[in-house]
Every structure is written in C-alpha cells, then in structure tokens.
Amino acid sequence: MPDCLFCKIIDGTIPSEKIFENEEFLAFKDINPQSPVHILIIPKKHLAKLSDCGNDEKEILSGLLLTANNVAKEIGIAESGYRVAINSGDDGGQLVHHLHLHLMGGGKLDGRMA
C-alpha cells in the first residue's frame, strides 16, 4: 500500500465527511471547497492518476462518472447543474496522487474549464 492520503481516508485512518460509499467507490466532502458543493469521488483501488489508466480501468472510469451523477442526483444538484473535473499530473494541477474526480455545484460556477 503506498503512503497515500486518500487510501488512508478509505481505510478510516484519516477522517472524512462521507457522502456515499459502496464496494468500489467513496465520495466525501473536499476539505477546501471551491464551490458551495465540492465533493471528491475516488475509486477504492489505488490508481495514481488518470493518465496511468487504460482499458483495464474501463469499469472504474465509467463508474466514477456514474457515481458522480448519482451523488449529484441524491443531493439534489443534478437538475441545477454541476461540473466534474479530474486533474492528472503536475501540469493538470494534481496534488493528491490517488485518482479522484471533483464534483462541484450548488451555485453558478465561476469561469469555464474549457
């Protein structure tokens, strides 16, 4: 097991505000929210970054998006709208090296990602 912040959140060594959990994924509140709703969705399997993923990770990658959408529905922001983002690698601004998806919403978001 790598010395990984999000693996420690998964195993409970580091506390988090959990929003959703199943066998494969965990969703919890970002500690430094950039929007009224800012949730991180992570696979329980340690994968360092999106660019390490390939065909073997098809289910995990589709599951991340579907979990984000389900969480958005569950907390009532699916209709008002939300943004998902994945930072991969240094130029992408990735700070935590465990694949994670940002789910942001709960109000009009500033700026555009693209």
Q: Is residue 111 a contact point for ligand AMP (CB under 6 A)?
A: no
Say if residues 79 and 17 touch (Cβ distance below 8 Å).
no
Spell out a b/e string for 71-93, using b for 16 or more CB atoms within 10 Å of the CB, else e: bbeebebeeeebbbebbeeeeee
User: How many other CB atoms are there within 10 angstroms of residue 16's CB atom?
Assistant: 18
**Of the candidate residues 3, 13, 31, 55, the single one contacting ligand AMP (CB under 6 A):** 31
Which position among 38, 46, 98, 100 bears the catalytic label? 100
Q: Is residue 94 a contact point for ligand AMP (CB under 6 A)?
A: yes
**Of the candidate residues 19, 83, 87, 109, the single one contacting ligand AMP (CB under 6 A):** 87
Reduced to 3 states, what is the DSSP secondary structure of residue 66? helix
Q: Is residue 53 a contact point for Zn ion (CB under 5 A)?
A: no
Closest to 99 (Cα-Cα) out of 62, 31, 44, 21 = 44
**Of the candidate residues 38, 46, 84, 96, the single one contacting Zn ion (CB under 5 A):** 46
Residues that bind ligand AMP (CB under 6 A): 5, 14, 16, 30-32, 40, 87, 93-96
Residues that bind Zn ion (CB under 5 A): 4, 6-7, 46, 98
Catalytic residue set: 100
